[in-house]
Amino acid sequence: MQGKGWLQVRKVAQYLDCSKNHVYDLVYHGELQAFKHGQTMRVSVESLEAFVKRHRIEATEARLEWLG
């Protein structure tokens, strides 16, 4: 999913394995950029990629969390 463009909220939810409502919350709180046209909302591919990058957990960090 590289590059510019716009995705439907349901596609973003599938990609993040979360609900559409959670995606709407991420947009509302400024975590994702989107635009709304009528009843349709589209999320920026670039902002989704940046969001994933900001929230990525490195392997060593994940292992430390798992070990507690």
Domain ranges of the chain: 6-67
Q: For 13-63, give the DSSP string.
A: HHHHTS-HHHHHHHHHTTSS-EEEETTEEEEEHHHHHHHHHHT---HHHHH
Task: Assign residue 57 a region (left: φ > 0; alpha: ψ between -120 and 50; beta: otherwise).
Answer: beta
9 DSSP 8-state letter: H
User: Residue 29 — pLDDT band, cuts 50, 70, 90?
Assistant: very high
pLDDT at 21 over 90: yes
Q: Tell me the pLDDT tens digit for each residue of 30-62.
A: 999 999 989 999 999 999 999 999 998 776 666
Give the residue with greater pLDDT, 56 vs 11.
11
Instruction: Give the pLDDT score at 35.
Output: 95
User: Residue 23 — pLDDT band, cuts 50, 70, 90?
Assistant: very high
